[in-house]
Amino acid sequence: MLKKYFNGLLLLTAIVLLHSCQKNIENFVINPGQSGIDTVWQISVPANAPIISLKNELKINKTIDSFSYNNTGIVFSSGNLSLGIPSNGLATANGLFPTGFVSRQSLLLQKRGDFIMMDMPTVSNNRLLEAFGAFFLDLRNNQQPLVVTTGNKLDVKYTATPIVGNTKIYNISNSNNFNWEINTDTAFNFSTITNTGYDVKTNTLQWLLNAQLVDTVGVQQTALSIKLPSNYTNTNTAVFISFNDAITIAPTTANINNRVFVSGSLPVNRPVTIIVLSKQAGDYYFGLQQTNTAIATSGTGTQEVILTPVRRSIDNIKGFLNSL
């Protein structure tokens, strides 16, 4: 109960900050007939679409640093990530051991807003995940990508709250839609808890997620349908559903025929925040609405929400997401 109260207080504080930062920004709502605004929904979103541009602008920069590695065991710490590498634990794809300095790109995601800004919803094969941290690691020697050698594993530690046991390791799957796929090599990919956070063992690099499935056994399911003004389309807008009581981010997909954004299955009676991000004619728009998931009362089979975003600065949007 205390955790839920604390999370709710944080969300309320974030919303107050969002509005207080906007005293000098006009709450401007686009006229659907405004020149330069495209109201056409497309089956395939083009690479130059405004929403792609906005998602790229929201991306969090990775940390770039380096360390000396002579193929003996080493622990390298930077920020909230500690990386332990065993002796002869890294090599190039051709089996060559690195010499001299190893460059590292890294990024740790721990907040709801982190996952939204990176466009990484917490879903695995249409099942919701509760995240307890995700991180990116890329290691190179003389610009050559490194891999973990056979029989070895890296040791990645980070501080976090809350701390829970029985989490699993997920990697990004190679599918058309974004998806986290559980890593079944559990002898070399697993997570344990420490006094201050998590200790992840892995033999893979790039993106990893430490998470567990949201328990939906015996829980009724629903779906959210978000209706926006006609100038908000799948080429200029994205909609996310953030759970207020967990680090869980649900994506939505575009229903082109009905011109709405629809979620997948969601457990009922959960407090959530609907977040709308849009870029139109060079301006940025932001929508925010809290609700509780509930069984649909309409004939559509979905819980319908009508929302009208307002104009915000990109810095204001980032500020809110950073506080979420």
Q: What pLDDT was estimated at residue 36?
A: 57
Which residue, of 179, 213, 247, is where some domain finishes? 213
Same domain, 109 and 165: yes
Same domain, 288 and 239: yes
Q: What pLDDT was estimated at residue 17?
A: 46
Tokens of 135: 């991180």
Residues with Cβ within 8 Å of residue 59, at least 6 apart in sequence: 117, 118, 119
Residues with Cβ within 8 Å of residue 97, at least 6 apart in sequence: 71, 88, 90, 91
Q: What pLDDT was estimated at residue 272?
A: 98
Cα separation, 309 vs 185, in Å, equals: 44
Residue 210, exposed/middle/buried by CB under 10 A (0-12, 13-18, 19+)? buried
Which residue, of 168, 188, 213, is where some domain finishes? 213
Same domain, 95 and 125: yes
How many folded domains does the chain comprise? Answer: 2
Q: Which amino acid is at 139?
A: L
Same domain, 147 and 267: no
Q: What pLDDT was estimated at residue 8?
A: 53
Note down the domain range covering 14: 2-58+218-323
pLDDT in tens, 17-47: 444 444 333 344 444 444 556 799 999 999 9
Tokens of 48: 């130059």
Which residue, of 213, 240, 266, is where some domain finishes? 213
Same domain, 79 and 167: yes
Q: What pLDDT was estimated at residue 128?
A: 98
Side-chain half-sphere of 70: how many Cα atoms within 13 Å? 0
| Count of other CB atoms within 10 angstroms of residue 43 | 7
pLDDT in tens, 201-223: 999 999 999 999 999 889 999 99
Q: What pLDDT was estimated at residue 78?
A: 80
Q: Check which CATH number belongs to the domain holding 209 and give it.
A: 2.60.220.50
Same domain, 203 and 77: yes
Q: What pLDDT was estimated at residue 177?
A: 84
Same domain, 120 and 167: yes
Same domain, 30 and 93: no
Q: Helix/strand/coil (H, E, C) string of the chain? A: CHHHHHHHHHHHHHHHHHHHCCCCCCCCCCCCCCCCCCCCCCCCCCCCCHHHHHHHHHCCCCEEEEEECCCCCEEEEECCEEEEECCCCEEECCCCCCCCEEEEEEEEECCHHHHHHCCCCCEECCEEEEEEEEEEEEEEECCEEEEECCCCCEEEEEECCCCCCCCEEEEECCCCCCCEEECCCCCCCEEEECCCEEEEEECCCEEEEEEEECCCCCCCEECEEEECCCCCCCCCEEEEEEECCCCCEEEEEEECCCCEEEECCEECCCEEEEEEEEEECCEEEEEEEEEECCCCCCCCCCEEEECCCEEECHHHHHHHHHHC
Same domain, 158 and 271: no
Mean pLDDT, each 10-residue run in order, the chain (324 residues): 47 49 41 62 95 98 93 88 95 93 96 98 97 97 96 97 94 88 97 96 97 93 96 97 98 96 96 98 97 83 94 97 94
Tokens of 229: 């003004």
| Count of other CB atoms within 10 angstroms of residue 99 | 12
Radius of gyration of the chain (CA): 21
Treating both helix axes as pointing N-terminal to C-terminal, what angle do 50-58 and 314-323 enclose, rounded to 10 degrees? 50
Same domain, 99 and 49: no
Same domain, 23 and 134: no
In which residue are the tokens 């020697």 written?
141
Cα separation, 180 vs 284, in Å, equals: 29
Same domain, 99 and 86: yes
Cα separation, 49 vs 161, in Å, equals: 37
